[in-house]
Amino acid sequence: MVKDELNVRSIEAASDLSRFVTLAATPNFPVLGKKYGKRVPKIADAIRKLDTAELIRFGHKGVATLAVDDDGGSVDVTREDAAVAAMPTPGFGAREERGLTVIADLAIDDDLKLEGAARELINRLQNLRKQSGLDVTDRIRLRYDGGALAERVFGAQGGLIAGEALADDIARGSVDWDASAELDLDGERVTVWLQKSN
């Protein structure tokens, strides 16, 4: 369900977050002030010094013990005492909340680019089906015209497009069918036509 909602190919658990993010904590001064009074500057400094590994543990446990006094005194800080932010390494997106860090690999390879273009085409075809008054179960014939990208998209993702649009056959070439739409596919003009199958 998560994969479908976010339109991602795979979800994996990561054992080493430090490859993807740097975590940093910011003291919550209003909360700390009420709890610790004059000790706040030392506690805030200790919070800022927590490294990524310590903050990962803090996120999981919800508490961190910080040495803040010269005589070895310590305090336990909780999630309400500090906000943790995830700063992704280049090529990744990240968000941290209450000990859960979600990372997205932002690299778009050629396969993903073609699949994204196919999904854009499918969306346009679904809208065209509705505008044409077709029932959701009606099978169609599909024609398209465009440049090299359109050819690559239909070549690599034709099965996906046919399955989602309920197309019995797909071919390149312009036709004089009434139901048609033009779209911009990554800077390339593509025209699609559809007709209800007999």
Q: Which helix (H) or strand (E) holds 47?
A: helix 40-48
Per-residue model confidence as pLDDT tens digits over 92-150: 988 878 777 888 888 888 888 999 899 999 999 999 999 999 999 999 999 999 999 99
Domains of the chain: which residue ranges?
A: 2-105, 110-196
Find the mean pLDDT for residues 10-15. Answer: 85
Q: Distance between alpha carbon 160 and the CA centroid of its chain, in Å?
A: 21
62 Ramachandran zone, left/alpha/beta (phi>0; psi -120 to 50): left
Segment 156-160 shows an average pLDDT of 94
Own/partner pairs, 18-21, CB within 8 angstroms, 24+ separation:
18/52, 18/53, 19/89, 20/88, 20/89, 20/92, 20/94, 20/103, 21/52, 21/86, 21/87, 21/88, 21/89, 21/92, 21/94, 21/96, 21/101, 21/103
pTM to 2 decimal places: 0.59
For residue 82, give the amino acid letter.
A
Q: Decide if pLDDT at 30 tops 90.
A: yes
Position 71 scores a pLDDT of 67
